[in-house]
């Protein structure tokens, strides 16, 4: 999976915006202003193709035990975030998409009722 495919998959989700809140090389995807995915573009260009994704704590542990290409979130809460190594031998593109969907859904489920209604009403 290349960076364009990854970006297109994230940005296509309802209510998603992209930002550079920390610096000019860390791309952050948010749903209703809440982060669900981060990509270090500078590291990506150097061959470290990774994405940080929010994850249910129990599932996060299970994934880390099962896949070498999934590790505790880099510079994030290790309990709630995983770093997924893109194009690693044991992490398929389908799994990456599944984990992006999980992260997005997890963040949406934690939104306030008002924000959920706003999201639902977006075109």
Q: What is the pLDDT along the chain (123 residues), one digit of tens a residue?
A: 999 999 999 999 999 999 999 999 999 999 999 999 999 999 999 999 999 999 999 999 999 999 999 999 978 888 899 999 998 889 999 999 999 999 999 999 999 999 999 999 997
Tokens coding 32: 């209703």
Topology at the third CATH level for domain 3-121: 3.90.1150
Tokens coding 122: 């977006």
Strands 50-54 and 34-40: antiparallel
């Amino acid at each position: 999976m290349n960076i364009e495919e990854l970006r297109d998959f994230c940005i296509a989700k309802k209510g998603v915006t992209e930002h550079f809140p920390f610096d000019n090389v860390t791309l952050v995807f948010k749903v209703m202003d809440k982060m669900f995915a981060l990509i270090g573009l500078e590291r990506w260009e150097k061959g470290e193709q990774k994405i940080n994704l929010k994850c249910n704590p129990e599932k996060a542990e299970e994934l880390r035990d099962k896949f070498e290409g999934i590790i505790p979130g880099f510079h994030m809460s290790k309990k709630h975030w995983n770093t997924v190594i893109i194009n690693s031998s044991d992490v398929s593109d389908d799994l990456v998409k599944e984990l992006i969907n999980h992260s997005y859904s997890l963040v949406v489920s934690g939104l306030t009722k008002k924000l959920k209604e706003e999201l639902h009403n977006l075109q």
